[in-house]
Structure 1
Amino acid sequence: MGNTQITFIGAGNMAASLIGGLCKQGVNAEHIRASDPGVAQLEALQNAYAIKTFTDNSLAVKDADIIVLAVKPQIMRQVCEQLAPHLTEQQLLISIAAGITSLSLSRWLGANKIIRCMPNTPALIQQGVSGLYATEHVTAQQREQAELLLSAVGLVVWLDTEELIDAVTAVSGSGPAYFFLLIEAITQAGVKLGLPEDIAAQLAKYTAQGAASMACQSALDATQLRLQVTSPNGTTEAAIDAFQQGGFNQLVDTAVRSAASRSQELAQQLSS
């Protein structure tokens, strides 16, 4: 990212993951700053990546090209209003806080170059996916910079409308938990069939990992891949039939819609 100066407001797990990803990509530590009231978190980042750290947000954002707002949604307004007097018109602000609309951020910050980002927890191991929405005031160069920054922890997809952030939250933001639940259930089923729990867990986890890798690497979609491994009258077909007869697809649809609806509710509460 050249000489782009990046400041992280908040030094929690997601910020640390992004910082680690940037450093692995070869971004010079001199171009990365982090600010947080937690001294222990700052020391850990400093020791790991040799970046410059601050406990004063106003000092941390001085001369920054990109400011990543990585604080909890509940304190976002307070942090933004304290930052507002210290910002310039040209700075790009990226929020990774769930539920806070760009309109609220703009009002609290007194700024309009804003990108909202919905990452997910696999970003902590550089295998995440992030949905990004940019306001009309963000330049093409700034969009490119944001994409480079977030791609340090995984895949980046752009959204045409901000309302789609709720859908991203429901599909990928909350999505890892859905797969963890399925791994739990398959593990428990394996135990009931007589497998030792540790072996059942390994089989479930590594099967999920292998299937996900195949889905990501194959030119075929998930439906075609499923059909390829589902022989007529075979064991897989018996399991798939049981899933479908139990209303599996409808249950997943209801669950994802419930997450999207809750995302909308939280956005209304947090952005008021």
Structure 2
Amino acid sequence: MSQPRIAFIGAGNMAASLIGGLRAQGLAADAIRASEPNAEQRARIAAEHGIQVSADNAEAIQGAEIIVLAVKPQVMKTVCQALAPSLSGNPLIVSIAAGISCASLENWLGASRAIVRCMPNTPALLREGVSGLYANANVSAAQRQQAEQLLSAVGLALWLDEEQLIDAVTAVSGSGPAYFFLLIEAMTAAGEQLGLPRATAAQLTLQTALGAARMAVASDVDAAELRRRVTSPAGTTEAAIKTFQAGGFETLVKHALDAAAQRSAELAEQLGQ
């Protein structure tokens, strides 16, 4: 990665994972600053990554070419309005806060700001995340590349042509890890009810989930074909799959993602006021 100066406003888990990813890619510690109100977290970030950390947001952004807004959505308006008078030049603003639209950020930070809105997910903490990115009209080609490099430090970064698709990204990948955790939880419980020790059922389920995900990522065919290949006619897998489908599995998944996307849109409207 090139060596832009980056400031993080908020240094919680997601910001820390981004900082760690950037440092692992070779970005110098003195190119990164962060502001964080929690003294214990400031000390932890400074010790782990060797960067300069402050309690003052305005101090952190001085000279920054990229400013990453990594605070809770509920305080974003207050943080942005307080930060606006300290902005100078044309820094790239990257928001990783759920439910905050570009229009809201422009309203709070000032018009004509270059803003990229992102929706990462929690596997970014292991640098196995995926993020949907949307850039407003003020973002240059070079700034788009900077934003992509930033989010690629913790996983896959995919561009969206329309901002409203952020709600779909939230439903599929932003909230998605919890869906898989729920399935892991249910399979572990079912395995235990079938007579397996709970620890054994958990290990079997977790390794199966990991192996299936790796197969799907590495395969040159889609998940439907992979499923067909491991489903023998009149076999055990077919019995389970037919039971899932008889219970309306696909329809239930669609309804769940629709609900998540709708809630994402509702939060954006509420938090943007």
- Shorter-chain TM-score range: over 0.9
2:55 alignment counterpart? 55
Q: 1:226, 1:29 → 2: CA distance?
A: 46
1:96 alignment counterpart? 96
Q: 1:264, 1:146 → 2: CA distance?
A: 23
Task: After superposition, give the CA deviation of every residue in 1:166-195 in whole Å (9 maximum; x if it has no partner).
Answer: 000000000000000000111111011100
1:164 Cα deviation from its structure 2 partner: 0.2
1:213-252 matched pairs, under 5 angstroms? 213-252=214-253
1:257 alignment counterpart? 258
TM-score (norm. length: structure 2)? 0.98
Letter in 1 for 2:152: S
2:13 alignment counterpart? 13
Q: 2:18, 2:3 → 1: CA distance?
A: 17
Letter in 2 for 1:224: E
1:84 alignment counterpart? 84
2:28 alignment counterpart? 28
TM-score (norm. length: structure 1)? 0.99
1:42 Cα deviation from its structure 2 partner: 1.0
Q: 1:62, 1:110 → 2: CA distance?
A: 17
Letter in 2 for 1:264: A
Task: After superposition, give the CA deviation of every residue in 1:30-52 in whole Å (9 maximum; x if it has no partner).
Answer: 10110011111111111111101
Give the % identical residues.
Answer: 62
1:196 alignment counterpart? 197
Match of 2:130, SS state, is strand
Match of 2:153, SS state, is helix
1:271 Cα deviation from its structure 2 partner: 0.4
1:3 alignment counterpart? 3
Task: After superposition, give the CA deviation of every residue in 1:77-118 in whole Å (9 maximum; x if it has no partner).
Answer: 110011101112410000000001100100100142000000
1:72 Cα deviation from its structure 2 partner: 0.3
Matched, 1:69 2:69: yes
Letter in 1 for 2:88: T
1:118 alignment counterpart? 119
1:139-218 matched pairs, under 5 angstroms? 139-218=140-219
Match of 2:196, SS state, is coil
Letter in 1 for 2:261: A
Match of 1:162, SS state, is coil
> Which 4+ runs in 1 deviate beyond 2 A?
none
Match of 1:161, SS state, is coil
Q: 2:26, 2:250 → 1: CA distance?
A: 43
Which runs of 5 or more structure 1 residues have no equivalent in the other structure? none
1:208 Cα deviation from its structure 2 partner: 0.5
Match of 2:45, SS state, is helix
Q: 1:15, 1:246 → 2: CA distance?
A: 40
Q: 1:55, 1:248 → 2: CA distance?
A: 48
1:3 Cα deviation from its structure 2 partner: 2.5
1:59 Cα deviation from its structure 2 partner: 1.0
Q: 1:100, 1:117 → 2: CA distance?
A: 10
Which runs of 5 or more structure 2 residues have no equivalent in the other structure? none
Letter in 1 for 2:151: L
Letter in 2 for 1:28: A
1:2 Cα deviation from its structure 2 partner: 2.4
Match of 1:180, SS state, is helix
Task: After superposition, give the CA deviation of every residue in 1:119-143 in whole Å (9 maximum; x if it has no partner).
Answer: 0011111111000000011001000
Match of 1:211, SS state, is helix
